[in-house]
Amino acid sequence: MSNESIHQLAEKHKKFMEKVDIFPYKYKNSVATYEMAHFYRLSANLYGSFLYSPYHLSYEEVKDVFYSFILLDEYMKNKISKLNDYASMDYTDSYYGFREDLKNTLLKDERFEPVLAEIESIIKSIDFVEESFAKNTMKYDEYQKIISQIKAEGIATEFQLKEMRRILGMCHVIEFEHTLEQKKLLDPLKELYTFMKQNQLADGDLKTIFQKAHILLYDKSVIELDNSLKRFGGADENSALSYEELVEKFINMYEKDFFKALNEDFIKRRVRNPSVQKAK
């Protein structure tokens, strides 16, 4: 049976009323190249049972291959597309337009000398946010290239899976950092807004700038920045981590539910390779 194809093995292990899908991509690590069959009933939800080739894998090999295929399946669903959609939004009328107003009008107006440092801080923060979005888009393109290569060749390597996981972690680091920068922007923005209001610098050519400052300060999404930061585990906690530790943290946060639900007990109940059956 060890020399049989995954299709032949699947047919021998398929039970009455079951359907079987062969995972469309092989998985290759430094040891071997693997294939996976997924057995399920049409009335059932989520995961059914699994079979892997080579057939006579050790139990430890099965566990490693099982999680590799589960993660590969998830990452091939383009899980960072939402991050790219967010980074690709047009912020010309909000952040970027406001930044140009600050550069072209307020920095040239002597009346704003008392809040010059605040204006420059706001501009710097908006520059950071724009650069973060560009980085996210670049990482998304790298991710897409890996997916395209896997689809074209019909096989994913251990390195490619590791890279997809790392890119997702890096994108979340970028998102966390620019969210933190958006929060940092609020203090100097509030100082500028208050200065304009107290000194009656909110009319004429300055009215639009004043209105934009108000929107950026009190928009619902800005008010919810603290909740967004909590989603990343908290700014204080993350500031104590190195970049690589932060990347690893966000990978683990994304994947923890898979490992929690699909634990070793699940593997023993659902994988049909002989080493797993013996391990029960």
CA angle at residue 126 from 249 to 83, to 5 degrees? 40
pLDDT above 90: percentage of residues in the chain: 67
In 3-state terms, what secondary structure has residue 272? coil
Q: What is the pLDDT of residues 46-78, one digit of tens each?
A: 678 999 999 999 999 999 999 999 999 999 987
Residues whose CB falls within 8 Å of the CB of residue 206, separated by 6 or more in sequence, listed in order: 105, 196
pLDDT of residue 92: 56
pLDDT of residue 200: 95
Reported pTM = 0.87
| Residue numbers in the chain where pLDDT is lower than 50 | none
pLDDT of residue 77: 86
CA distance 188 to 121: 7
> What is the amino acid identity at position 154?
G
Supply the angle between the helices 158-198 and 59-75 in degrees, to the nearest 10.
40
Q: How many CB atoms lie within 10 A of CB 142?
A: 14
Among candidate residues 86, 131, 125, the one with its CA nearest the CA of residue 102: 125
Q: 35 burial class (0-12, 13-18, 19+ CB within 10 angstroms)?
A: buried
CB 52 within 8 A of CB 4: no
Q: What is the pLDDT of residues 228-250, one digit of tens each?
A: 888 888 788 888 899 999 999 99
pLDDT of residue 44: 63
Tell me the pairing of strands 19-22 and 155-157: unpaired
CA distance 143 to 141: 5
User: ω into residue 54 within 30 of 0, thus cis?
Assistant: yes
Mean pLDDT of the chain: 89
pLDDT of residue 89: 63
CA distance 17 to 51: 17
* Pair of tokens at residue 12: 């021998």
pLDDT of residue 269: 92
Residue 154: phi and psi, rounded to 5, are 70, 15
